């Protein structure tokens, strides 16, 4: 039983080095190419899906659509949920990361970004960035977040995993999940039972398919990143996928590590 996780391709806010969170930043030109190449890698390895899942944010939805288009599978059922949204970055959303580090100090910003329990400053409800009036959240359970830490994110993600995704996986359906850096960090932390210090250094690259295989007990048995030539060796992931195969430059790392500037 397999599920493929894909973090969306590079967004415009990623390109501008801004905190994104629930801001609906679309894919950059590079992000569109990355999503297309992710679909080509899946096609080259014979992947096909029975259903797909994404957040309600455009960058994840568009990545999912491009991948399914590349696989000629735009017809399969797709489900979207706010529970798969990126972590809410509160009042940091839209701010440049380098400028924010200059203002608050690099250590504080690193704590906001990487800590499991630390929340960034909350967004005010009268702030134009507040998503409470966005129609995509009209049926949200409870209140639209004003800020979140990774534990908050994990709580909502795991509700959706247990109720909507795991039963499909247990039924033997082949699934695609297109989401976000911190959404996937929270899910992988749960699946791999990572300690807090382990998840701090867990980074997810944009648009590199990450395959999780499960046993009959629905516990993960192995996972690996996927390139066009098949599974990559343990501990090896490309820093990016280039639209030109001649320019692909796989990089060595430990586990899921990639340069931190690729994070949402």
Catalytic residue among 8, 180, 223, 256: 8
Give the CB-side neighbour count of residue 216, counting CA atoms within 13 A.
0
The answer to whether the annotation marks 8 as part of a ligand binding site is yes
User: In this structure, are residues 43 and 70 in contact, taking their beta carbons and an 8 Å threshold?
Assistant: yes
Q: Is 81 annotated as a binding residue?
A: no
The annotation status of 164 as a binding-site residue, yes or no, is: no
Residue 89, marked binder: yes
**256 assigned to a ligand binding site:** no
113 annotated as belonging to a binding site for a ligand: yes
**Cα distance between residue 124 and residue 40, in whole Å:** 42
- Residue 129 marked ligand-binding: no
* 70 belongs to the catalytic site: no
> Among 34, 70, 86, 168, which one carries the catalytic annotation?
86
Q: Does 182 appear as a known binding residue?
A: yes
In whole angstroms, what is the distance from residue 17 CA to residue 97 CA? 6
Does 9 belong to an annotated binding site? yes
Ramachandran category for residue 172: left, alpha or beta (phi over 0 → left; psi -120 to 50 → alpha):
left
**Residue 148 marked as a ligand binder:** no
**13 marked as part of a ligand binding site:** yes
3-state secondary structure of 77: coil
Catalytic (active site) residue 8 = yes
CA distance 113 to 185: 12
| Integer CA distances (angstroms), 88 to 26, 110, 141, 147, in order | 16, 16, 15, 5
Helix pair angle (181-191, 150-160), 10° resolution: 70
Q: Is 97 annotated as a binding residue?
A: yes
Identify the helix (H) or strand (E) that includes residue 114: helix 106-114
Binding-site positions for substrate read: 7-14, 20-21, 59, 86-89, 97, 113-114, 181-182
Binding-site positions read: 7-14, 20-21, 59, 86-89, 97, 113-114, 181-182
Task: List the catalytic residues.
Answer: 8, 86
């Amino acid at each position: 039983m397999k599920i493929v996780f894909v973090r969306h391709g590079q967004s415009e806010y990623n390109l501008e080095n801004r905190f994104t969170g629930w801001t609906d930043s679309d894919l950059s030109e590079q992000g569109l190419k990355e999503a297309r190449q992710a679909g080509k890698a899946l096609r080259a390895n014979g992947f096909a899906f029975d259903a797909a899942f994404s957040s309600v944010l455009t960058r994840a939805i568009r990545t999912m659509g491009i991948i399914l288009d590349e696989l000629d599978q735009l017809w399969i059922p797709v489900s979207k949920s706010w529970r798969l949204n990126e972590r809410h970055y509160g009042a940091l959303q839209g701010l440049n990361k380098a400028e924010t580090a200059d203002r608050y100090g690099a250590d504080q910003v690193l704590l906001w970004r990487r800590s499991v329990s630390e929340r960034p400053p909350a967004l005010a409800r009268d702030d134009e960035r507040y998503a409470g009036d966005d129609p995509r959240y009209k049926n949200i359970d409870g209140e639209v977040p004003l800020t979140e830490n990774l534990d908050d994110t994990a709580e909502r993600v795991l509700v959706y995993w247990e109720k909507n995704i795991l039963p499909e996986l247990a039924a033997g359906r082949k699934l695609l999940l297109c989401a976000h850096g911190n959404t996937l960090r929270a899910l992988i932390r749960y699946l791999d039972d990572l300690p807090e210090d382990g998840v701090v250094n867990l980074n997810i690259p944009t648009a590199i398919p990450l395959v999780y295989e499960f046993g009959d007990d629905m516990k993960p048995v192995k996972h690996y990143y996927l390139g066009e030539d098949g599974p990559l060796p343990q501990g090896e992931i490309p820093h990016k996928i280039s639209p030109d195969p001649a320019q692909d430059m796989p990089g060595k790392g430990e586990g899921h590590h990639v340069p931190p500037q690729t994070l949402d």
